Structure 1
């Protein structure tokens, strides 16, 4: 496994003595466990070698001057800064093997039902699994596949809305809601479905959109204008516009991010993160950065603009197909006090299991 390239290069940090490192480690461990700052008296009780609270305070002052810890508000305790967490993850944290129980659960849930499940089903399960194991949000991004079509149907929802249902040959189903003119007869929905199904089977969406571009113009004699517009709108709902993204994003477990909040401002930070996740583009861009190298990437807080306001972290790893080409990235989003020692090998192992499944 490889973490993100260390951003801590200061000789002062590299030369911290053993006492300073141990006190810093205790502060970080307490924060990762409780989310709360810890005071010098509590630290002095935790140290293997007896050290007075006054001596601990002196070391803490040095650590604070280096930017590794801070005092939130007027608290007498200290907690690590984002710089401190990065130093801890890159220079001090040891990543062990994934627990046998976690390994068995990942194997069982991701491999269950294979090879009959669709890729989207596998990735959705992987995202939900990571969310459940980490108590964070599980995320997956992968290129939208050029699926071949089996069936397309238009179904009325409301007087001004219809549902377009697309079924691919591998059984994957996608839905889009589109606007329709008031008064559009049900017969137009049926005619649009029949017209596309007569031409869609076995083709990709790109194939169908390309064919329909000229066919609709030539075929308006056999279609009324409303039906032709309905077909064009339905096909456009699957892309072809400037806002369409070539990747699909799967997010599960956002509600986990609402757990264990410590203040009203925590809730506001998570609200901002939810808004960013819904916008998708920044998260897809960030996950794409995890494709830049082998192994696990760790993004902490404001190191990335997506998390600059929410104070979150993400651990992500790429997965590969049979030709060893990177075809997607999966990971976990959570607070900066994620259990990095557990989540990093968990994400790494899950990416490997998904890759092996794709190689069959």
Structure 2
């Protein structure tokens, strides 16, 4: 079984499918005129698990020329500073996703971010895919955070930075916000007003305007978002994500904050898995959450509240919907308690889950991709228990 796991985790499978184009039309009028948006929502089919968006006529960003100043961490030609960009989307992938380029600037996910942003006045926008090692350890995430800071600092203060991050990619963004805050504090002697509370400091500029976090393993000791640096934070998660919490050792939701929103996401009324939470369908709507929809009283978004848990449903054929759901906190806490009780030690994990995992592999020997969620969750947990520290994975 160990041999099978080694082979499985050392091989990244990219699945190509037919390319498509999407018309540049207002998503709201598009729905109202019954002209269906040409998106592909990802399913749990094994042939699509690692292919969040379909388009096979694009360059592989892994093979593109890399900017020498920031090493391997930013893809293709978008690393050059451009002061005329008003908005920049930084797309940060998670663990082991460095060679599955859904996050790259020339891929449909990023392209749909830009398409969606056009309808809220963000015409001067660009997307940058941020590539890091993808290794399963705190040190690599910390190194990536330092490089992300360098990239953010290349843009002038008039550029609004919007981070879209998946899994531990969000924890890289969070660590970057901590580093930026440390730098800010060191410069405070020259700008004492920067230390004033937000309400008393009208000149305060957030270095990161918005974070859209997808399926993030939440941990508030080393991976907290510094909200002195981040203006708005949207945390999208799914209770069908078997990887995010690593059997209850991480949380799904962030503590209550007046600029953080914890959102349970549904795609066409289905809760996505860890690997299917970032389809083009969602990226097209992300820039419209929440203000665009809130201002137009669309889909219940007029009831949007930071600091409260809510449910958002995104559809191919109609507008997204928003609903407050305070019971989400109770579900998350019950889930964490239940999973933690069953996974107290490595010995118990091996006893309870190894046979189950082996059976799943045997059942799917003929399949191209094994049960990725069970396999990855088990590997994450065993790695964590062996190294015995919360920051490991």
Larger Rg: 1
TM superposition score category, shorter chain reference: under 0.3
The structure richer in strand per residue is: 1
Q: Work out which structure has the larger RCO, using CA pairs closer than 8 Å and 6 or more positions apart in sequence.
A: 1
The structure richer in helix per residue is: 1
TM-score relative to the length of structure 1 = 0.24
